[in-house]
């Protein structure tokens, strides 16, 4: 069974309700057709994620949001 593993960055919305992680398409950009299979489109670098977190906090909805490093595993199913 093949596996692909990599590290990326996401924004943890960090709410009591458990909203989870936000990626690059959380900000209203439509998901391109070639990315529709991905539930989260993550950030390649921490600096890109940090640049976006201001918009999340500024809205006041997710004031405790933080940037987190995540591990991604894609596994082939048979």
* Cβ-count burial 38-57 (b if 16+ within 10 Å, e if not): eebbbbeeeeebeebbeebe
* Domain regions of the chain by residue span: 3-75
Per-residue model confidence (pLDDT) at position 34: 66
CA dist., res. 51 & res. 59, Å (int): 14
pTM: 0.76
User: pLDDT-based confidence at 19, cuts 50/70/90?
Assistant: confident
CA dist., res. 21 & res. 50, Å (int): 14
Q: What is the pLDDT of residues 47-67, one digit of tens each?
A: 999 998 887 787 778 889 999
User: pLDDT-based confidence at 39, cuts 50/70/90?
Assistant: low
């Amino acid at each position: 069974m093949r596996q692909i593993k990599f590290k990326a960055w996401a924004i943890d919305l960090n709410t009591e309700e458990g909203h989870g992680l936000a990626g690059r398409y959380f900000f209203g950009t439509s998901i391109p057709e070639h990315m529709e299979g991905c539930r989260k489109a993550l950030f390649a670098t921490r600096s890109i994620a940090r640049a976006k977190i201001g918009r999340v906090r500024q809205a006041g909805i997710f004031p405790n949001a933080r940037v987190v490093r995540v591990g991604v595993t894609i596994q082939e199913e048979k």
